Amino acid sequence: MSSIRAFLALMILLLAGACSVPGPGEAPDGVYDPYESANRNIHDFNLGLDRGGVRQASVALAALPEDVQTGLGNFADTLGTPKTVVNQILQGRLWRATKNTLRFGVNVLFGFGGLADVARDVGLPEDESDFGETLHVWGAPEGAYVVLPVLGPSTERDAVGEFVDFFTNPLDRVLTTPQRRVATTIRITDRFASRGRNSDVFDSVLYESADSYSQLRVIYLQNRRFELGYGDEVPGTEIDPMALDTEGF
């Protein structure tokens, strides 16, 4: 009950600022970052975590056999599919929600519980969504750019989405507590492995760019806005934003 109240309070604050928050293309250079000083401090904290062990653990996971990594990624995707279905229903995208429901069932029943992506081979490819996208569909503003501890780049709208998604995956309602812990561990491990597989790109942005904070901000906003259908509205990067998953940094 307390989590519901907290969610409603966040929603009210977010929607109350809809008339005053610049959208993509309206802020200078397409970036609205009034919290830059605090964001940079959190960015430095996240970089410290990366240097302190995240990078090394990620590279080690990326050295696992390819079949193991593929199975891990498939299982993590299966665990997140019910969350996607809920969000697509809330967005009114019922056909996509139906296809994802079928995708979940096919992979659980015929893909060894989700370790194999059988659904892709029968025309049901991966199709993710989240509550940040749901808020976008509902007309909520993007809000300011923010950096979250551990989770990394976000916006005010997507930060609310992260919070809601944490509590609204239907699968968590049917799993036992030990099973939920295993599921969380798998999701985190897959995120680490993804960082390891793209280590060269991450290291280039985080440790070789003149200003890793600004570079990551541009890449995140460009990537996210592309996902939501805005198009390219944040100039200034030579790195393909779709090649870099910035969550967790």
Structural domain that includes position 66:
44-243
Is residue 38 included in any domain, yes or no?
A: no
Residue 44: count other Cβ atoms within 10 Å of its Cβ.
12
Is residue 11 included in any domain, yes or no?
A: no
| Confidence check: pLDDT of 193 > 70 | yes
Determine contact, residues 135/160, Cβ cutoff 8 Å: yes
The residues facing 154 across adjacent strands are 146
Strand ranges for the chain from DSSP E? 145-148, 152-155
Residue 200 confidence (pLDDT) = 94
Residue 19 confidence (pLDDT) = 40
Based on the number of CB atoms within 10 Å of its own CB, is 243 exposed (0-12), middle (13-18) or buried (19 or more)?
A: exposed
Residue 210 corresponds to which tokens in the numbers above? Answer: 């003149």
State how many domains the chain has. 1
Identify which of 156, 153, 150, 170 has the alpha carbon closest to the alpha carbon of residue 10: 156
Query: DSSP states of 194-241 as a string?
Result: HHHHTHHHHHIIIIISS-HHHHHHHHHHHHHHHHTT--S------S-G
Residue 249 confidence (pLDDT) = 54
For the segment 228-248, what is each residue's pLDDT rounded down to a tens digit?
987 655 554 444 444 555 555
Distance set, CA 199 to CA 137, 180, 193, 195 (Å)? 33, 29, 10, 6
For the segment 31-80, what is each residue's pLDDT rounded down to a tens digit?
999 999 999 999 999 999 999 999 999 999 999 999 999 999 999 999 99
Is residue 19 included in any domain, yes or no?
A: no
Is residue 37 included in any domain, yes or no?
A: no
Is residue 8 included in any domain, yes or no?
A: no
